[in-house]
Amino acid sequence: MIDYMEEYRHWMDSPALSESEWQELDRIGGDELEIKSRFFAPLEFGTAGLRGIMGMGLNRMNRHVIRHATQAFASVIIEEGEEAMKKGVIICYDCRENSELFARAAASVMAANGIFVRIFDAMRPTPELSFAIRSFGAAAGINITASHNPREYNGYKVYWADGAQLPPKHAQAIADAMVRIDIFTGIKRMDFGEAVAAGLIQTIGAETDEAFLKNVLAQSIDREAVARVADKFKIVYTPFHGAGYKLVPEALRRLGIKNIIPVPQQMVIDGSFPTVKSPNPEEPAGFHLAIDLAKKENCDLIIGTDPDSDRVGIMVRDDKGEYVTVSGNQTGVLLLDYIITARKRLGTLPENAAAVKTIVTTEMAREVAQQNGVHIDDTFTGFKFMAEKVAEYEKTNSYSYIMAYEESYGYMIGDYVRDKDAVTASMLIAEMAAYYFGKGMTLLHALDSLFEKYGYYAEKTLNLVMPGIDGLENMRKLMARLRENPPAEISGVKVLRERDYASGKIIVPGLGFVDKTHISGSNVLYFELEDDTSFIVRPSGTEPKIKVYILVSGNDKEECTQKIDKYVAFAQALK
């Protein structure tokens, strides 16, 4: 256990602090609770890297924490040998406050360790970093972003040579190295300009954009469908002040979409996100300006990408002229069906086609795949796990993946990225919407037709937020309680089986351990209920909250809605 007062004094005594940084800490000198919140423990380094509120302190995101993590990451790359150091790292950043500062700090530490750095000349979408790592043959990558988190946050995402986020063993190696390295005296540093002059840091930009966009556009299946409606079909687009502002509209233009109407206030790059409470395309409130513009311009589709442009959310006009959210699960099902049927129609669907989803993503995707003769696999939440599955397909030459997705608005298509990609997904969503527009249908009509064809499904995700110093402990206690005293029934419905993905045990109430799960090692509890509902509980890997997923099916929409409503109260009572 860290002595937070001693750690606070260690920071106050360090000559590495600037005058303004020292003053920030000096101002809290008489506030022990604030000191404790900043110094009670370091930010936890996991497979998603680091994420936290910006500010001075061990449990905050600042340039010293960035340098510390980078020095540890550098030691892991150095252990890989001289060739890995020459291949180097690629560094990217988003629109958030301090993102460019943190990116340059990371580049300087890598260069001081003799590791070659390519850094983007301005902010870029996360998927372009994944592409660049694979394209340049780099050893690793770093992205300074907190994705869709609130404005107070920033983060440090780490990637390996395959373009996917770090596998657990490398993340653990970095975490272990951070324990050994002093945050101030253990860091190698070099002036950024001197590193550029020495050839240790190189800037990349427009050429990489072009190569990336060429790959994105290659995923288009039926451009004729777009051309047929291009004069009438309209899209409103918002990047939520972030990194999608340039490449998403460009990809749509190159696809042949003529009427792309950006939300002007949100095309302004601003890490304080002045027009939204949270820059998260999962939250409908963020789309208020886009909805106003879509109504004014009589548009058919709204597309919104988060600040680092790896997630995409959509809204569609209903028969009453109102704009309705299409969930991540539903968008994924629409895309999967569109990719399969369009490629079948054009004769480009591989015989060994496969799709990948996570264990918390709708089972409707399985129905779509299986009814079309497409293989489908489940992985844990996170694109690093889906990337591993795709790599396994390639290695064994068993399947050709056509799409991977998770319910939280992330979609991966194409072999040039190994992370969720809102640029490619936005382009394909636009093509799909244009195709249905040509048939006199919106994506809502299309979704209804899929329910008729594949059956009725509905999903709801609840976030049990547990902030503050006690948050992590409360999350741990909740998961422990569910393991020690698992419910025999939920909302009056019998639990048939419990899958504990941490241990890999499948447990039947009254019988105990009966089988093993196909994957294990993740803190997830999955309850299978008698009415075919899945009730799933897992701690978030990036935010202080427990996520509860309710996945239902039924004979019609009304039955699905009733089932969801029945289980929500039980989920909320868990906290």
Q: Which domains does the chain have, with CATH numbers?
A: 41-204 (3.40.120.10), 208-347+409-454 (3.40.120.10), 456-573 (3.30.310.50)
Q: Which residue has the higher pLDDT, 512 or 412?
A: 412
Output the average pLDDT for the chain.
96
Which of 135-139, 451-455, 469-473 comes out lowest in average pLDDT?
Answer: 469-473
What distance in Å separates the CA atoms of residue 191 and residue 200, rounded to the nearest whole number?
A: 11
| pLDDT at residue 301 in the model | 98
What is the average per-residue pLDDT within 351-363?
97
**Per-residue pLDDT reduced to its tens digit, 138-149:** 999 999 999 999
pLDDT grade for 103, boundaries at 50, 70 and 90: very high
Q: What are phi and psi of 486, to 5 degrees?
A: -65, 140
Quote the tokens at residue 198. 């020495």
Angle between helices 443-454 and 364-371 (to 10 degrees): 70
How much is the pTM?
A: 0.96
Number of H helices, E strands in the chain: 20, 23
Pick the catalytic residue from 75, 99, 130, 147.
147
**Percent of the chain topping pLDDT 70:** 100
> Helix, strand, coil proportions of the chain in percent (round to 5)?
40, 25, 35
Q: What is the DSSP letter of 435?
A: H
What distance in Å separates the CA atoms of residue 238 and residue 265, rounded to the nearest whole number?
A: 9
Give the contacts of 452 (CB within 8 A, at least 6 positions apart). none
DSSP-assigned beta bridge partners for residue 313: 304
Asked if residue 502 lies in contact with residue 523, where contact means CB atoms within 8 angstroms, the answer is yes
Residue 1 in this model has a pLDDT that exceeds 90? no
Quote the tokens at residue 55. 């500010």
Q: Is 147 a catalytic residue?
A: yes
How distant, in Å, are the alpha carbons of 283, 506, 513 from that of 74? Answer: 37, 40, 43
Asked if residue 304 lies in contact with residue 238, where contact means CB atoms within 8 angstroms, the answer is yes
pLDDT grade for 544, boundaries at 50, 70 and 90: confident
DSSP-assigned beta bridge partners for residue 260: 235
What is the average per-residue pLDDT within 469-476?
86
Quote the tokens at residue 202. 């190189």
What distance in Å separates the CA atoms of residue 516 and residue 546, rounded to the nearest whole number?
A: 24
**Per-residue pLDDT reduced to its tens digit, 177-202:** 999 999 999 999 999 999 999 999 99
| pLDDT at residue 460 in the model | 96
| pLDDT at residue 472 in the model | 82
What is the average per-residue pLDDT within 229-238?
98
Residue 92 in this model has a pLDDT that exceeds 90? yes
Residue 273 in this model has a pLDDT that exceeds 80? yes
How many residues in total does the chain contain?
Answer: 575
| pLDDT at residue 542 in the model | 72
